[in-house]
Each structure stands twice: as structure tokens, then as C-alpha cells.
Structure 1
Amino acid sequence: MVRRCLIVAACLALPAQVAASEREQVPRIGLDGPELDACGGIGSVTHFEPEIAVLEAPDAYAREKDRLPIRSLVWLCEAVGDYQGIVYATGEFQDLGDCRVSRPIATPQAYNGPCAHGWVMALNLSLVSE
């Protein structure tokens, strides 16, 4: 009976874990204060694979939303554990400068600019510029 209860309890807990990992968490900008740029630096994707996964949240079970090839440039914004929140240009007519994070902002907030955003394992990035 105890074993059956443990199995049932584990099954009931599973949907909550799945639901939590499916929620998108937008990286925050402006965490370095109102005197510094909204995102603290620029990084480059450096990894042994041809591409890295961009996730919806800083969680190994988060849904993949994009893939970035090696040498892609990204803005480095919020860091959570082993994950780096990034903002990056997408599309033919978009440039890294279009992301609106290279100037200070008054208070920290979730990124809501025109560029794409997500989370990658920080070990897949190299600092290019602060």
C-alpha cells in the first residue's frame, strides 16, 4: 500500500514539474544599475557542436525555442545558475545594435524589445566585450 501511494504521489507531482518547465521566462535587463548598459556585455557562441539550443527558461527541461550557430553574437543579460539569459538579432534586416539594450535603463525589467531572447548554458559562450 505504501509503495502504491508513493507511485501515485510521484505521478501527481509530475504534471506540476512539466508545467513549470514549459513556462517561458524572459531574461531581465538593467540588472547592473541605471548607469550601465541594460545588458552587460556581448558574447559569442563557442561550442564543439555546430549549434546550441536556446531555451525558454533557465532549466534543463525547458522547451527549445531556437538554435544558434557557432560564432553567433549575443547580448549577455541576466544570469541564473549555469544559464545565461541572452538577447540576439534574428532575420535578414536585423543587427545586434537593433536590440535596444546598449543603453542604460532606469529600473530592471523583462526584455521586451524587437530581438529574440532566451537562455543558453553559459559554458557555451565566450565574452567578446563588456
Structure 2
Amino acid sequence: MTKTALGSHPFLLGFEQLERLVERTAKSGNEGYPPYNIEQSGDRSYRITLAVAGFAEEDLSITVEDRQLVIRGRQGDDEGERIFLHRGIAARQFQRSFVLADGVEVTGAKMENGLLHVDLEHAVPETIVQTIQINQS
């Protein structure tokens, strides 16, 4: 039996981009930091919460490009200002990526008690019925 690519299945016309999306998601490079939750906050709304203790709002960036939500964190380097006797809190940068479905929009973000909340809304798609005329040769 031969393996068929998702985009080349005869019933899935125009879904080649979905296959690329799945591949991109599989190799997004997300390690385990920072930990996060994804919750459904309404019928068509969601919230992603990341534990970003130690990061200020200006240390974080949130972008959406090509249906991919990317959250990055980078803390400023203050090595010369403080002398640590023990350093158990890592000051490292991170990048978390989430692939968004068509119609999902980021509606807002806020920081609260060391947690970054990113709110998402899935728009209700319009039902479109199209009648195709059959032309005579």
C-alpha cells in the first residue's frame, strides 16, 4: 500500500496548504517553556494563558502572521546591575507558536499576576449557497 499525501487525496481539492500547516505545526520548535493553558471561554471564544513570571509587558511580543500566532519573550540583560549569590530563576528567552484556524482572530491580550492572557474569537462563517449553470456546447 502506498502512502498518499493529504493534499493529493482526490476528495480534498485545494487542501495542499493544510498539509503545509500540519508540517509547520509539527516542527514549530516549542519546548516546554513557558507552560501554558488553552481554555474555551465561550461558544466561539478561547483563551491562551502563558506563565511569564519575571517578564514585563515590554519584554513580550505577540504577532500573527499567515494564521500563526507567535508569542516571544526576551528579558533585558541586567547582569552588571546585580550580584547574585544564587540564581535559580532563569532569565531566558522563549517563543511559543500556535496555528490558528481560518476565522480565528486575536481579540486582545493582558498581563495579570505573572500570566499573559491572549483572547481569541472564532467568527461564525457565512453560509453561502451558489448555483452553477450548466452551459450548452
Write 1 or 2 for the structure with the bigger share of helix: 1
TM-score over 0.5 for the pair: no
Radius of gyration: which is bigger? 2
> TM class, shorter-chain normalised?
under 0.3
Higher RCO (CA < 8 A, seq sep 6+): 1
TM-score between the two structures when normalised by the length of structure 2:
0.26
TM-score between the two structures when normalised by the length of structure 1:
0.27
